[in-house]
Structure 1
Amino acid sequence: MARETKALSEKLNFKKLKRLYIFALITIAITVLLSQLLIQHNIKSQLNDSRLINISGKQRMLSQKLAKEILILNSSSNKLNFNQEIAAVKKTLALWKFTHHALEKGNDSLKFPKEKSPEMIALYKDMQPNVAIIIKSTKKYLENSQILLKSPKDQQEVQTILDNIAIFLSKMNRIVEQYEHEALEKVTRQQNIEYLILSFTLLVLFLEFLFIFKPTNKKIELLISKLLTSEKRAIKLARDTEIISAIKENSVKELKSLNYAMENTLLYCRISPHGKIIHMGDKFAKLLQYNPSFDADKSFSKALTAVEKEQLDIDRIIADKQRSGWQGELKTTNRNGEPLWLDMSMIPVRIKKEELELLVICFNISIRKKAEIEIERLNRENTLEKINQHKIISSRIVENQENEQNRIAREIHDGIGQMLTGLKFSLESINLEDKEKSAQKIEYLKKLSLDIIKGVRTATFNLMPPELSDHGIVSSIAKLTLELTKLTGKNIQFYNKTEFDQRLDSLIEINIYRLTQEAINNAIKYAESSHIIVQLSHSNKILSITVDDNGKGFDVSSVEKKRNSESGMGLLFMKERVRYINGRAFINSIPGEGTRITFNIPI
């Protein structure tokens, strides 16, 4: 195989191939370089040509400007601007002369060429008499204008200037056309040269492909084919040896990986039926701080714990379960006196007919056990806190019921009761014989009766509004806001945004009514608000009631922490009541800006 490869390498003759490649690359590089130099020269030449054409056009503009300024000067009668107009004509004439001279003779600063084509020289020579006449006539006209002499000859000079400028413009047009013609010839010539260089480059590439790349490619393909054939033979000869070696190596790797995984990831140990340690994994040994070099007594129970009672329990489990195995959670105490919880499995393994071992596999569940204990403690504390809250709520509910009953009793006794007593005395004092006084007392009794009826209605409205049972929650809340507006003088508005008109369960309706009543009363009593807006909206599943006020607001988090205060208990009662009907309450308040309370109740 080596001889064949050497023979093919000699056939390829890499030195000759290297020389051919270098020659081809140098040829292509030279053609590209020449092309770039030619392109750059052409671009520079085109820039100069465009500048010449541009300045030639400007020269025509300057001649027209000169004629215009002379006409303005000739027709001017304002002596104040006379000197300025003469100066402008002189400035334009000087610039026109300088530009014409630069175009004709060349100029290094403006990069105008000094050498010109015969056609261009002839055109400039033909133009020269007209230029000389324009300069001479303009200077003579300016001299006469400065000494303030007006004569028919001046008009002749002006006409001479204008006639020659017209001739100058036509001849200048021919010069510009000649410049454009010469520039086009240069571009065409450059284009032809570029095509020639491109054709030469393509020819070089074709010759390289034909005489270098193609033969070399065939020889390299032949060499690669021979090498592949030799490689297949070598692979076939070594295949059996490699397969056996790979199987052996994989087996060793698997054993090493298994041993490493068991040592560093599992808490495992091999013990005898008498509880003596045969081998303990590295991770388990680090956890138990067990070192077989220093621990002469290789007892598994003593390695697990230093507490004698726990050691006896472990020895008893090993003695009882050495044949059937055991699985369970085991609490021990490590050498630092800290509790250690292990999820342990003891698996009996028979090594020989008469030899038995126990494979112990453990999982450290100390963190989980600590978490479970902590969760139990928190649950107990939470349960106690909820019981205490319910006790406080129950006592406050009873207290509120007593206060409400006392308030109703006072309203009936102090209000309705006194009006009824007054009604009784007024009826007894009527003297039918005195018709005038009787009529006055009857009118008074009518008014008193109306007040009694109003007081009875107010008391019954506070207990249970008739609109709630007759017409539902929407009508009762509308009536509530209207009555409270009249009684308190506050601006309380109610909006049924989604035109809700359904009837709900009576228990849900009364709780919604009481929640809304409590929210409005809090806004009146504590928030010191002047405007209160009650909005009702609903979807397919939720009825939402929002109470907004423009009062002084409060810090919700600080109030909720004060469970023993009146405001804190009020929020707690409100949330308990809405939770009772499976709803949720959301309280948002900003001190100094106002409060929004939202109740969401499933329907």
Structure 2
Amino acid sequence: MQSQTTQIAILVAVGTLIFLLVPFFLVMYIRSYVRHKKNHVLEKETMKQKFEAEMLQTLVEVQDQTMQTIATELHDNVGQLLSLTTLTLNSINLGDSEKAGKKIESSLSLVNKSIKELRELAKLLHGEQLVENGIGHAIEQEINWLSKSGAYELKVSNQLFDLQVASPNKDLIILRLLQEIINNIIKHAKASYIEIDCYYAHETLYLKVKENGIGFSYDEKKQKKTGMGLNSIYKRIEMINGKLVLNSKLNKGTSIAIEIPYP
């Protein structure tokens, strides 16, 4: 009898303990869940803020690059055209009507070229509009300005016109990536030949740039912390879940292949 009483007491004690512990663990679980959920929300908000800050920085950099292009074109191209127009007009001798007519005609041609160049520059004043017209058109604009320099033999395959899908945020980053790659080539590669290939397949956008410059050692640049431009490129690629493969050999050039889920 006493044994049964003891067993009952033990069962009551165990039951009471379980009854008390279950709500305790339930409360602890709920608190842990709420804390993790709150941290997850804060993490998502932080990531969103970082992404928006990066997008703003990218937009500013695209606009800065645009302003540099405009300044260069105004000085090197439009400025020269207008200077030639002034020289031509000042050299007109009204006493020689035949030569005067030819010089006036030449001046009008120079003015028309200047107007055309200014119209092209006006388009660049709206960097966002370039992206709104599609990444294919934005890339074409960048390649056109590179072509005008006459410093490189270019081979271009741009198959990104008239895409049925679009992603303005990714387009802006892709445009900036191309600008950074081109700037690195101009500043460091000492190349004479550039090949650019861009196309879309299987919900992925591909951008490939190859040049025949002096090449470099990425590991060496990373150790010396001189490859900050490349670090920026990798950072932006990661931000849009893309992949980048870089191959470079000394005196044999560099190739960059980028894959971006799109849109």
User: What is the TM-score normalised by the length of structure 2?
Assistant: 0.56
User: Counterparts of 2:19 and 2:50 in 1: how far apart (Å)?
Assistant: 51
Equivalence for 1:555: 218
In 2, Cα distance between the equivalents of 1:597 and 1:322? Answer: 64
Aligned to 2:21: 326
Identify the residue that residue 584 of structure 1 maps to in structure 2. Answer: 242
Q: Distance in 2 between matches of 1:399 and 1:480?
A: 14
Question: Which secondary structure does the structure 1 equivalent of 2:189 belong to?
Answer: coil
The equivalent of 1:595 in structure 2 is 255
Aligned to 2:107, the other structure's residue is in SS state helix
Larger Rg: 1
Structure 1 residues 453, 573: closer, same or farther in 2, change over 3 A?
farther
Corresponding position: 1:527 with 2:189: yes
2:163 equivalent to 1:505: no
| Contact 2:70-2:124 at 8 Å conserved across structures | no
8 A contact 2:191–2:211 mirrored in 1: yes
Alignment of 1:283-432 (within 5 A): 325-327=20-22, 391=53, 394-395=56-57, 397-398=59-60, 401-402=63-64, 404-405=66-67, 407-409=69-71, 411-412=73-74, 415-416=77-78, 419-420=81-82, 423=85, 427=89, 430=92, 432=94
Q: Secondary structure at the match of 1:529?
A: coil
Matches of 1:414 and 1:429, distance apart in 2: 23
Change (3 A) 1:398 1:464: closer
Amino acid at match of 2:256: R
> Which amino acid letter does the alignment assign opposite residue 535 of structure 1?
D
Alignment of 1:429-468 (within 5 A): 430=92, 432-439=94-101, 441-446=103-108, 448-449=110-111, 451-453=113-115, 455-456=117-118, 459-460=121-122
Contact kept? 1:495, 1:536, Cα under 8 Å: yes
| Letter in structure 1 aligned against 2:155 | Q
- Cα deviation, residue 560, structure 1: 11
Q: Secondary structure at the match of 1:327?
A: helix
Structure 2, unaligned stretches of length 5 or more? Answer: 1-9
Q: For 2:164 and 2:142, how far apart are their aligned partners in 1?
A: 18
Task: Supply the distance in 2 between the matched residues of 1:414 and 1:399 (Cα, whole angstroms).
Answer: 22
Contact 1:535 1:545 in 2 (8 A): yes
RMSD across aligned C-alpha pairs, in angstroms?
5.4
- Aligned-residue offset at 1:507: 3.4
Tell me how far 1:596 sits from its aligned partner: 1.9
Cα separation, 1, equivalents of 2:225 and 2:100:
61
> For the Cα contact (< 8 Å) 1:559–1:567, is it kept in 2?
no
**Change over 3 Å in CA distance of 1:393–1:556 after alignment to 2:** farther
Q: Residues of 1 paired with 2:99 and 2:208: CA distance?
A: 54
The aligned residue for residue 231 of structure 2 is: 568
**Structure-2 separation of matches of 1:575 and 1:568:** 11
Deviation at 1:395, TM superposition (A): 5.0
Distance (Å, rounded) in 1 between the aligned partners of 2:97 and 2:179: 48
Counterparts of 2:171 and 2:11 in 1: how far apart (Å)? 73
SS of the residue aligned with 2:209?
Answer: strand
3-state SS, counterpart of residue 325 of structure 1: helix
Rounded to whole Å, the distance in 1 between the matches of 2:222 and 2:48 is 18
CA deviations on 1:118-166 (whole Å, 9 max, x unpaired) are xxxxxxxxxxxxxxxxxxxxxxxxxxxxxxxxxxxxxxxxxxxxxxxxx
Q: Which of residues 490, 500, 510 in structure 1 aligns to 2:152?
A: 490
